[in-house]
Amino acid sequence: MEIPYVDSPRPDTGLTNGKIGTWLFLASEVMLFGALFASYIVLRVGDPNWPDGREVLNIPLAFLNTVVLISSSVTMVMAWASLVRKDFAKFRIFQTLTVLGGVGFMVIKFIEYSAKFHHEPPLLPSTNNFMAVYFTLTGLHAFHVLCGMAINAYFIGPGAKLWKTRPQWFTDRVEHAGLFWHFVDLVWIFLFPVLYLL
Amino acid sequence: MADHVDIDKHVRTYMIVFGSLLVLTVLTVAVAYLDLPVWGAVAVALFIAAVKGSLVACYFMHLISEKKFIYLSLALTIFFFIGLLLLPILTDMDQITNL
Protein backbone atom coordinates (compact mmCIF):
# COMPACT_ATOMS: atom_id res chain seq x y z
CA MET A 1 0.00 0.00 0.00
CA GLU A 2 1.29 3.46 -0.90
CA ILE A 3 1.96 5.71 2.10
CA PRO A 4 0.02 8.93 1.48
CA TYR A 5 1.42 12.48 1.49
CA VAL A 6 5.13 11.64 1.51
CA ASP A 7 6.05 14.09 -1.25
CA SER A 8 2.89 16.14 -1.62
CA PRO A 9 1.23 18.16 1.14
CA ARG A 10 -1.95 17.05 2.88
CA PRO A 11 -4.77 19.38 1.82
CA ASP A 12 -5.86 20.10 5.42
CA THR A 13 -2.46 20.89 6.99
CA GLY A 14 -0.54 21.97 3.88
CA LEU A 15 2.32 19.74 5.09
CA THR A 16 3.75 16.35 4.25
CA ASN A 17 3.28 13.67 6.90
CA GLY A 18 7.06 13.40 7.27
CA LYS A 19 7.39 17.03 8.23
CA ILE A 20 4.55 16.86 10.77
CA GLY A 21 6.08 13.70 12.25
CA THR A 22 9.51 15.29 12.49
CA TRP A 23 8.20 18.42 14.23
CA LEU A 24 6.13 16.39 16.71
CA PHE A 25 9.22 14.30 17.46
CA LEU A 26 11.22 17.49 18.01
CA ALA A 27 8.48 18.71 20.38
CA SER A 28 9.04 15.57 22.48
CA GLU A 29 12.79 16.25 22.37
CA VAL A 30 12.20 19.77 23.70
CA MET A 31 10.43 18.22 26.70
CA LEU A 32 13.25 15.69 27.21
CA PHE A 33 15.95 18.37 27.33
CA GLY A 34 13.54 20.68 29.19
CA ALA A 35 13.28 18.18 32.04
CA LEU A 36 17.08 17.99 32.27
CA PHE A 37 17.46 21.79 32.15
CA ALA A 38 14.85 22.07 34.94
CA SER A 39 16.84 19.55 37.00
CA TYR A 40 20.00 21.58 36.37
CA ILE A 41 18.30 24.78 37.59
CA VAL A 42 16.98 23.12 40.76
CA LEU A 43 20.36 21.56 41.57
CA ARG A 44 22.27 24.74 40.83
CA VAL A 45 20.16 27.24 42.77
CA GLY A 46 20.09 24.90 45.78
CA ASP A 47 23.85 24.40 46.00
CA PRO A 48 25.92 27.20 47.58
CA ASN A 49 29.14 25.49 46.41
CA TRP A 50 28.21 25.12 42.73
CA PRO A 51 31.49 25.36 40.78
CA ASP A 52 32.19 27.97 38.12
CA GLY A 53 32.03 26.20 34.73
CA ARG A 54 34.81 28.46 33.41
CA GLU A 55 37.23 27.05 35.98
CA VAL A 56 36.36 23.36 35.58
CA LEU A 57 35.57 22.98 31.88
CA ASN A 58 37.59 23.63 28.74
CA ILE A 59 36.19 26.82 27.14
CA PRO A 60 38.41 26.86 23.99
CA LEU A 61 37.39 23.26 23.11
CA ALA A 62 33.70 24.01 23.71
CA PHE A 63 34.00 27.21 21.65
CA LEU A 64 35.61 25.21 18.84
CA ASN A 65 32.80 22.64 19.05
CA THR A 66 30.22 25.44 18.79
CA VAL A 67 31.88 26.71 15.62
CA VAL A 68 32.07 23.16 14.19
CA LEU A 69 28.39 22.48 14.89
CA ILE A 70 27.20 25.83 13.50
CA SER A 71 29.30 25.23 10.37
CA SER A 72 27.80 21.76 9.93
CA SER A 73 24.33 23.29 10.19
CA VAL A 74 25.22 25.57 7.29
CA THR A 75 26.52 22.67 5.18
CA MET A 76 23.28 20.80 6.01
CA VAL A 77 21.05 23.59 4.62
CA MET A 78 23.39 23.89 1.65
CA ALA A 79 22.96 20.14 1.01
CA TRP A 80 19.19 20.61 0.97
CA ALA A 81 19.47 23.73 -1.21
CA SER A 82 21.60 21.73 -3.69
CA LEU A 83 18.80 19.17 -4.02
CA VAL A 84 16.25 21.94 -4.65
CA ARG A 85 18.60 23.07 -7.43
CA LYS A 86 18.67 19.43 -8.68
CA ASP A 87 22.43 19.29 -8.15
CA PHE A 88 23.01 15.87 -6.60
CA ALA A 89 26.82 16.04 -6.85
CA LYS A 90 26.91 19.19 -4.72
CA PHE A 91 24.42 17.64 -2.30
CA ARG A 92 26.84 14.75 -1.74
CA ILE A 93 29.71 17.15 -1.04
CA PHE A 94 27.75 19.27 1.45
CA GLN A 95 26.15 16.25 3.12
CA THR A 96 29.59 14.62 3.53
CA LEU A 97 30.90 17.86 5.06
CA THR A 98 27.94 17.79 7.48
CA VAL A 99 28.80 14.25 8.60
CA LEU A 100 32.46 15.24 8.93
CA GLY A 101 31.35 18.17 11.10
CA GLY A 102 29.66 15.61 13.36
CA VAL A 103 32.84 13.52 13.41
CA GLY A 104 34.84 16.63 14.33
CA PHE A 105 32.43 17.43 17.14
CA MET A 106 32.70 13.89 18.55
CA VAL A 107 36.52 13.88 18.34
CA ILE A 108 36.67 17.17 20.27
CA LYS A 109 34.14 15.78 22.77
CA PHE A 110 36.32 12.68 23.20
CA ILE A 111 39.38 14.85 23.93
CA GLU A 112 37.33 16.86 26.42
CA TYR A 113 35.97 13.76 28.20
CA SER A 114 39.41 12.09 28.24
CA ALA A 115 40.91 15.12 30.00
CA LYS A 116 38.19 14.84 32.66
CA PHE A 117 38.78 11.11 33.19
CA HIS A 118 42.59 11.56 33.40
CA HIS A 119 42.39 14.60 35.64
CA GLU A 120 43.94 14.20 39.12
CA PRO A 121 41.62 13.46 40.93
CA PRO A 122 39.40 12.18 38.10
CA LEU A 123 36.35 14.30 37.28
CA LEU A 124 33.54 11.76 36.97
CA PRO A 125 29.73 11.93 37.07
CA SER A 126 30.01 10.73 40.69
CA THR A 127 32.38 13.58 41.65
CA ASN A 128 29.64 16.14 42.34
CA ASN A 129 26.28 17.37 41.05
CA PHE A 130 27.94 19.74 38.58
CA MET A 131 29.90 16.93 36.90
CA ALA A 132 26.81 14.67 36.96
CA VAL A 133 24.77 17.36 35.18
CA TYR A 134 27.66 18.08 32.78
CA PHE A 135 28.06 14.43 31.73
CA THR A 136 24.30 13.80 31.54
CA LEU A 137 23.52 16.83 29.38
CA THR A 138 26.58 16.72 27.13
CA GLY A 139 26.39 12.90 26.92
CA LEU A 140 22.75 12.94 25.82
CA HIS A 141 23.56 15.71 23.38
CA ALA A 142 26.54 13.76 21.98
CA PHE A 143 24.24 10.75 21.53
CA HIS A 144 21.94 12.97 19.45
CA VAL A 145 24.93 14.07 17.36
CA LEU A 146 25.76 10.39 16.71
CA CYS A 147 22.14 9.68 15.68
CA GLY A 148 22.12 12.72 13.39
CA MET A 149 25.40 11.58 11.80
CA ALA A 150 23.91 8.12 11.14
CA ILE A 151 20.81 9.62 9.50
CA ASN A 152 22.86 12.06 7.41
CA ALA A 153 25.31 9.34 6.36
CA TYR A 154 22.37 7.13 5.29
CA PHE A 155 21.35 9.77 2.74
CA ILE A 156 24.83 9.76 1.22
CA GLY A 157 24.83 5.94 1.07
CA PRO A 158 21.89 3.54 0.63
CA GLY A 159 19.23 6.22 1.18
CA ALA A 160 20.43 8.11 -1.90
CA LYS A 161 18.76 5.58 -4.24
CA LEU A 162 15.46 7.37 -3.67
CA TRP A 163 16.79 10.42 -5.54
CA LYS A 164 16.56 8.49 -8.82
CA THR A 165 12.95 7.37 -8.36
CA ARG A 166 11.29 9.99 -6.12
CA PRO A 167 13.48 13.14 -6.07
CA GLN A 168 10.92 15.30 -4.25
CA TRP A 169 10.49 12.70 -1.49
CA PHE A 170 14.29 12.45 -1.14
CA THR A 171 14.60 16.26 -0.96
CA ASP A 172 11.92 16.38 1.75
CA ARG A 173 13.62 13.59 3.69
CA VAL A 174 16.89 15.51 3.68
CA GLU A 175 15.01 18.61 4.85
CA HIS A 176 13.53 16.60 7.75
CA ALA A 177 16.93 15.14 8.66
CA GLY A 178 18.16 18.74 8.58
CA LEU A 179 15.46 19.77 11.06
CA PHE A 180 16.83 17.21 13.51
CA TRP A 181 20.43 18.28 12.89
CA HIS A 182 19.58 21.98 13.43
CA PHE A 183 17.72 21.04 16.61
CA VAL A 184 20.89 19.35 17.89
CA ASP A 185 22.78 22.56 17.04
CA LEU A 186 20.11 24.62 18.83
CA VAL A 187 20.40 22.54 22.02
CA TRP A 188 24.18 23.04 22.00
CA ILE A 189 23.71 26.81 21.59
CA PHE A 190 22.01 26.79 25.02
CA LEU A 191 24.21 24.10 26.62
CA PHE A 192 27.45 25.97 25.87
CA PRO A 193 26.80 29.11 27.94
CA VAL A 194 24.72 27.35 30.60
CA LEU A 195 27.32 24.71 31.46
CA TYR A 196 30.63 26.24 30.44
CA LEU A 197 30.30 29.97 30.95
CA LEU A 198 27.97 30.61 33.91
CA MET B 1 9.34 24.74 0.75
CA ALA B 2 11.44 26.84 -1.58
CA ASP B 3 11.44 26.57 -5.36
CA HIS B 4 14.34 27.14 -7.73
CA VAL B 5 13.62 30.83 -8.18
CA ASP B 6 14.13 31.90 -4.59
CA ILE B 7 16.70 29.33 -3.45
CA ASP B 8 19.58 31.69 -4.33
CA LYS B 9 18.04 34.26 -1.99
CA HIS B 10 17.79 31.55 0.70
CA VAL B 11 21.48 30.68 0.29
CA ARG B 12 22.49 34.34 0.72
CA THR B 13 20.39 34.45 3.89
CA TYR B 14 22.07 31.27 5.20
CA MET B 15 25.49 32.88 4.80
CA ILE B 16 24.39 36.03 6.66
CA VAL B 17 22.93 33.88 9.46
CA PHE B 18 26.16 31.85 9.58
CA GLY B 19 28.24 35.02 10.00
CA SER B 20 25.85 36.34 12.67
CA LEU B 21 26.02 33.06 14.62
CA LEU B 22 29.82 33.13 14.63
CA VAL B 23 29.90 36.75 15.83
CA LEU B 24 27.34 36.01 18.55
CA THR B 25 29.35 32.96 19.68
CA VAL B 26 32.45 35.13 20.14
CA LEU B 27 30.27 37.67 21.99
CA THR B 28 28.92 34.92 24.30
CA VAL B 29 32.46 34.00 25.39
CA ALA B 30 33.59 37.64 25.67
CA VAL B 31 30.65 38.58 27.90
CA ALA B 32 31.35 35.60 30.18
CA TYR B 33 34.71 37.13 31.09
CA LEU B 34 33.26 40.55 32.02
CA ASP B 35 32.55 39.20 35.53
CA LEU B 36 29.01 40.52 35.65
CA PRO B 37 26.87 39.71 38.71
CA VAL B 38 25.30 36.21 38.47
CA TRP B 39 21.83 37.38 37.44
CA GLY B 40 23.31 39.80 34.88
CA ALA B 41 25.57 37.10 33.40
CA VAL B 42 22.66 34.63 33.20
CA ALA B 43 20.37 37.22 31.57
CA VAL B 44 22.96 38.29 28.96
CA ALA B 45 24.07 34.72 28.17
CA LEU B 46 20.48 33.48 27.77
CA PHE B 47 19.54 36.54 25.70
CA ILE B 48 22.41 35.92 23.24
CA ALA B 49 21.60 32.18 23.18
CA ALA B 50 17.93 33.01 22.50
CA VAL B 51 18.90 35.27 19.57
CA LYS B 52 21.19 32.55 18.16
CA GLY B 53 18.53 29.87 18.67
CA SER B 54 15.92 32.04 16.95
CA LEU B 55 18.21 32.53 13.95
CA VAL B 56 18.73 28.77 13.64
CA ALA B 57 15.01 28.01 14.09
CA CYS B 58 13.74 30.78 11.80
CA TYR B 59 16.17 30.38 8.91
CA PHE B 60 17.87 26.96 9.00
CA MET B 61 14.68 25.23 10.17
CA HIS B 62 12.52 27.45 7.92
CA LEU B 63 10.18 28.43 10.76
CA ILE B 64 9.93 31.93 9.35
CA SER B 65 7.73 30.64 6.54
CA GLU B 66 6.09 27.56 8.03
CA LYS B 67 2.47 26.41 8.10
CA LYS B 68 -0.01 27.18 10.88
CA PHE B 69 -0.12 23.57 12.13
CA ILE B 70 3.60 23.70 13.00
CA TYR B 71 3.22 27.05 14.79
CA LEU B 72 0.33 25.70 16.85
CA SER B 73 2.27 22.55 17.80
CA LEU B 74 5.28 24.65 18.80
CA ALA B 75 3.17 27.13 20.79
CA LEU B 76 1.81 24.21 22.80
CA THR B 77 5.34 22.81 23.24
CA ILE B 78 6.71 26.16 24.43
CA PHE B 79 3.83 26.51 26.91
CA PHE B 80 4.62 23.14 28.48
CA PHE B 81 8.38 23.74 28.26
CA ILE B 82 8.09 26.96 30.26
CA GLY B 83 5.85 25.15 32.76
CA LEU B 84 8.44 22.39 33.03
CA LEU B 85 11.18 24.93 33.81
CA LEU B 86 9.10 26.98 36.24
CA LEU B 87 7.29 24.30 38.25
CA PRO B 88 10.30 22.80 40.06
CA ILE B 89 11.70 26.27 40.76
CA LEU B 90 8.43 27.65 42.12
CA THR B 91 7.90 24.63 44.34
CA ASP B 92 11.49 24.79 45.61
CA MET B 93 11.96 28.53 46.20
CA ASP B 94 12.98 28.11 49.85
CA GLN B 95 16.00 26.02 48.77
CA ILE B 96 17.53 28.79 46.66
CA THR B 97 20.78 29.65 48.41
CA ASN B 98 23.38 30.88 45.97
CA LEU B 99 21.82 33.52 43.72
Asked whether A34 and B87 are in contact (CB, 8 A), the reply is no
Q: How many CB pairs under 8 A join A and B?
A: 148
* Amino acid (one-letter) located at A116: K
Residue B5: pLDDT band by 50, 70, 90 thresholds? low
Query: Which residues in chain B have Cβ-Cβ distances shorter than 8 Å to A44?
Result: 98
Q: Where are the domains of chain B?
A: 4-95
State the pLDDT at residue B32: 87
**Do A48 and B42 count as a contact with CB atoms less than 8 A apart?**
no
* Amino acid (one-letter) located at A96: T
Q: How far apart are CA B31 and CA B80, in angstroms?
A: 30
CB-facing half-sphere around the CA of A22: CA atoms within 13 A? 21
> Which residues span the domain enclosing A138?
17-197
At a CB cut-off of 8 Å and minimum separation 6, what does B49 contact? A189, A190, A192, A193, A194, B28
Q: How far apart are CA B5 and CA A154, in angstroms?
A: 29
* Assessment of whether the complete model's pTM goes beyond 0.90: yes
- Total structural domains within chain A: 1
Q: How far apart are CA A40 and CA A44, in angstroms?
A: 6
Residue A185 located in a structural domain? yes
Residue A89 located in a structural domain? yes
Residue A4 located in a structural domain? no
B54 and chain A: CB distance < 8 Å anywhere? no
Check if the interface score ipTM surpasses 0.90: yes
Residue B95: pLDDT band by 50, 70, 90 thresholds? low
State the pLDDT at residue B48: 96
What CATH number is associated with residue A179? Answer: 1.20.120.80
pLDDT 10s per residue in chain A (198 long)? 778 888 889 999 999 999 999 999 999 999 999 999 999 988 988 888 899 888 899 999 999 999 999 999 999 999 999 999 999 999 999 999 999 999 999 999 999 999 999 999 999 999 999 999 999 999 999 999 999 999 999 999 999 999 999 999 999 999 999 999 999 999 999 999 999 988
